[in-house]
Amino acid sequence: MSFADLKAELMRAEFPTLRPDHDPDIERYFDMRSQGRPAEALAFYNRHLSVRYPDPDFRTRTLRAYRLRSPEYASLIAASYDALGERLLERTKRVIKYIALHASSYDPTDVYQTIRAAESILRMLPNEQFAAIAAVERFRRYADALSFQKKHLERAEELVRAYLTERLDVVEADDEAFERVLFLYSRKFGVKHYDVFRTIRDGRRRGRRDEEILAAVSALLTTGYYYSIRGDLYLQRNWALLKGKIDPASAAPTADSAGGAAAPARQRRSGGRRRKPAGERIVVARRERDPARPLPGKPPAAAPAAAKLQAEPARPKSAETAAPTAKALLERSRARTAAAEPAPVADADARVPAGSVADRLRKLSGRSYDVFQDRFLAKARAAIRSVLASRKRGPRALFATIPLEAENLVYDFLKEHYDDPYMDWEGSEERKRLAEHGFDLESADPVIADCYKRL
**DSSP per-residue string spanning 371-421:** --HHHHHHHHHHHHHHHHHTSB-SPPPTT----HHHHHHHHHHHHHTTT-T
CA-only gyration radius of the chain, Å? 38
Average pLDDT over residues 271-295: 49
Q: What pLDDT shows up at residue 143?
A: 87
Angle made by CA atoms 169, 171, 172, in degrees to the nearest 5: 65
| pLDDT at residue 160 greater than cutoff 50 | yes
Nearest to 450 by CA among 389, 391, 383, 365: 383
Q: What pLDDT shows up at residue 256?
A: 46
Within 155-194, strands assigned E span none
| pLDDT at residue 99 greater than cutoff 80 | yes
Residue 327 pLDDT grade (very low, low, confident, very high; cuts 50, 70, 90)? low
Please state, in angstroms and rounded to a whole number, the distance separating the CA atoms of residues 291 and 281: 18
Average pLDDT over residues 410-434: 90
| pLDDT at residue 446 greater than cutoff 90 | yes
Residue 108 pLDDT grade (very low, low, confident, very high; cuts 50, 70, 90)? confident
More confident: 189 or 169: 189
Q: What pLDDT shows up at residue 372?
A: 65
Average pLDDT over residues 354-369: 81
Q: What pLDDT shows up at residue 209?
A: 84
Sequence-separated (6 or more) residues with CB below 8 Å from residue 273: 267
Q: What pLDDT shows up at residue 447?
A: 92
Q: What pLDDT shows up at residue 308?
A: 44
Q: What pLDDT shows up at residue 352?
A: 59
Q: What pLDDT shows up at residue 286?
A: 47
Q: What percent of the chain has pLDDT over 70?
A: 68
| pLDDT at residue 311 greater than cutoff 50 | no
Please state, in angstroms and rounded to a whole number, the distance separating the CA atoms of residues 97 and 150: 10
Do residues 19 and 163 lie in contact, with contact meaning Cβ atoms separated by under 8 Å?
A: no
Q: What pLDDT shows up at residue 335?
A: 63
Residue 82 pLDDT grade (very low, low, confident, very high; cuts 50, 70, 90)? confident
Helix (H, G, I), strand (E, B) or coil at 294: coil
First-last CA distance in the chain: 30
Contacts of 319-324 with C-beta under 8 Å, sequence gap 24+, read 322/279, 323/277, 323/278, 323/279, 323/282, 324/278, 324/279, 324/282
Helix (H, G, I), strand (E, B) or coil at 25: helix
Residue 173 pLDDT grade (very low, low, confident, very high; cuts 50, 70, 90)? low
Do residues 423 and 357 lie in contact, with contact meaning Cβ atoms separated by under 8 Å?
A: yes
| pLDDT at residue 349 greater than cutoff 90 | no
More confident: 396 or 42: 42
Q: What pLDDT shows up at residue 30?
A: 92
